[in-house]
Amino acid sequence: MTQIGVGIIGASPGRSWAALSHVPALKALPDFDLRAVSTSRRESAEAAAVAFETTGFDNHEDLLAHPGVDLVVVAVKVPRHEELITAALAAGKMVYSEWPLGVDARQAARLAAQARTSGVRTVVGLQGRFSPAIEHARELVHQGYIGEVLGTTLEGSGMGWGPDTTASSAYVYDAASGATTLSVVGMHALDAVTWVLGDFSSVGGALAVRRPYVRVADSGEMIPVTAPDHVAISGRLGDGAIASAYFRGGTSRAGNLRWQINGTDGDLLITSGGNLQVAELALYGARGAETELVPIAVPTESLAGGGALAGNVARLYRQFADDIMNDTNLAPDFAYAVTRHEVLNAIETSAVTGVAVHPRTDGKFHD
pLDDT at 362: 61
Q: How many C-beta atoms lie closer than 10 Å to residue 178's C-beta?
A: 25
pLDDT at 106: 95
pLDDT at 367: 46
What residues pair up with 97 in beta bridges, in sequence order? 74, 124
What residues pair up with 204 in beta bridges, in sequence order? 234
CATH, range 129-300: 3.30.360.10
Residue spans of the domains in the chain: they are: 4-127+316-333, 129-300
pLDDT at 363: 56
CA distance 202 to 261: 18
Q: Could you write out the three-class secondary structure of the chain? A: CCCEEEEEECCCCCCCHHHHHHHHHHHCCCCEEEEEEECCCHHHHHHHHHHHCCEEECCHHHHHHCCCCCEEEECCCHHHHHHHHHHHHHCCCEEEEECCCCCCHHHHHHHHHHHHHHCCCEEEECHHHHCHHHHHHHHHHHCCCCCCEEEEEEEEECCCCCCEECHHHHHHHCHHHCCCHHHHHHHHHHHHHHHHHCCEEEEEEEEECCCCEEEECCCCCEEECCCCCEEEEEEEECCCCEEEEEEECCCCCCCCEEEEEEECCEEEEEEECCCCCCCCCEEEEEECCCCCCEECCCCCCCCCCCCHHHHHHHHHHHHHHHHHHHCCCCCCCHHHHHHHHHHHHHHHHHHHHCCCECCCCCCCCCC
pLDDT at 360: 73
Question: What pTM did the predictor assign?
Answer: 0.95
**Are the C-beta atoms of 180 and 228 separated by less than 8 Å?**
yes
pLDDT at 236: 97
Tens digit of each residue's pLDDT, the chain (367 residues):
589 999 999 999 988 999 999 999 999 999 999 999 999 999 999 999 999 999 999 999 999 999 999 999 999 999 999 999 999 999 999 999 999 999 999 999 999 999 999 999 999 999 999 999 999 999 999 999 999 999 999 999 999 999 999 999 999 999 999 999 999 999 999 999 999 999 999 999 999 999 999 999 999 999 999 999 999 999 999 999 999 999 999 999 999 999 999 999 999 999 999 999 999 999 999 999 999 999 999 998 888 877 899 999 999 999 999 999 999 999 999 999 999 999 999 999 999 999 999 997 665 544 4
CATH architecture of 4-127+316-333: 3-Layer(aba) Sandwich (3.40)
